[in-house]
C-alpha cells in the first residue's frame, strides 16, 4: 500500500511540475500559438491527469485488499505442518503449495491430500516468496516446496 501511496504522490508532483512548465511555455509563446493555445494546454494536462487517475484507482484497490486481510497469524510453518486460521494440517496431509491468480489478486493455494483447497492472499504474508519457499522446503524436510511459476508468467 505504501508503494501505491508513493506512486500517487509522485503523480501529483508530476502534474504540478507539468502545470508549471506548461504555464511558462504558454506565457512566453501564447502569441505564437494562436487560437489553439488553450486546447493545447488542456491536451498536455490530459496525460498526467490520466496517470494520476490510474494511480488513485490502484491506491484504492490496494487499500481494499489490505483491509480484507484479517488480524493475527495468516500462515504458520513448522516441522510438524502448516498452521492456518482454518486449522492445522500435518505435512502428510498437504499435497501441494502454489501461487495462483484468483479473484483479482495473487493467492497462496494449499491443496490437501483429500482434495481440499485453502486460499490465502499473498498480501497477508509478511515474507518474500523465496523466503516462504525456503521455509516450506526446510521445515517439511524437503518433501514440499511452493511453486511460484505463475508469478513469473
* 24 and 83 inside one domain: no
Longest Cα–Cα distance in the chain? 79
* 62 and 128 inside one domain: no
Q: Mark which of 16, 49, 67 sits at the end of a domain.
A: 67
Using one digit for the tens of pLDDT, what is the confidence trace for 87-121?
A: 898 999 999 999 888 777 788 888 999 988 888 88
* 114 and 56 inside one domain: no
* 13 and 81 inside one domain: no
* 16 and 61 inside one domain: yes
H/E run at residue 77: strand 76-77
Three-state DSSP at 9 gives helix
Using one digit for the tens of pLDDT, what is the confidence trace for 57-95?
A: 988 988 887 777 667 777 888 899 999 877 898 999 999
CB distance 146 to 99 below 8 Å = yes
> Residues for the chain: how many in total?
153
Per the structure, the complete domain to which residue 142 belongs is given by 76-152
Q: Residue 115: what are its φ and ψ, rounded to 5°?
A: 95, 0
Q: Residue 85, CB half-sphere, CA atoms under 13 Å: how many? A: 11
Q: Mark which of 67, 84, 101 sits at the end of a domain.
A: 67
Instruction: State the pLDDT confidence band at 37, using cuts at 50, 70 and 90.
Output: low
* 50 and 113 inside one domain: no
* 63 and 84 inside one domain: no
CB distance 118 to 109 below 8 Å = yes
Q: How many domains does the chain have?
A: 2
Residue 118 maps to which CATH number?
A: 2.30.29.30
* 54 and 94 inside one domain: no
CB distance 118 to 124 below 8 Å = no
Q: Is the pTM of this model over 0.85?
A: no
| Grid cell in block for residue 52 | 494520476
Q: Mark which of 67, 93, 114 sits at the end of a domain.
A: 67
* 19 and 41 inside one domain: yes
Please enumerate in sequence order all residues whose Cβ is within 8 A of that of 149, keeping only pairs 6 or more positions apart, or say none: 98, 99
d(CA 101, CA 108): 9
Amino acid at each position: 500500500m505504501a508503494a501505491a501511496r508513493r506512486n500517487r504522490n509522485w503523480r501529483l508532483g508530476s502534474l504540478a511540475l507539468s502545470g508549471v512548465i506548461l504555464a511558462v511555455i504558454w506565457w512566453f509563446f501564447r502569441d505564437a500559438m494562436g487560437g489553439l493555445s488553450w486546447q493545447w494546454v488542456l491536451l498536455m494536462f490530459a496525460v498526467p491527469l490520466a496517470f494520476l487517475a490510474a494511480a488513485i484507482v490502484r491506491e484504492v484497490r490496494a487499500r481494499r485488499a489490505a483491509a480484507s486481510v484479517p488480524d493475527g497469524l495468516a500462515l504458520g510453518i513448522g516441522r510438524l505442518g502448516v498452521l492456518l486460521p482454518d486449522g492445522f494440517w500435518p505435512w502428510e496431509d498437504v499435497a501441494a503449495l502454489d501461487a495462483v491468480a484468483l479473484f483479482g489478486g495473487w493467492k497462496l493455494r494449499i491443496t490437501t491430500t483429500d482434495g481440499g483447497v485453502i486460499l490465502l492472499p499473498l498480501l497477508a504474508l509478511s515474507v518474500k516468496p523465496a523466503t516462504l519457499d525456503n521455509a516450506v522446503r526446510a521445515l517439511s524436510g524437503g518433501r514440499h516446496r511452493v511453486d511460484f511459476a505463475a508469478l513469473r508468467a
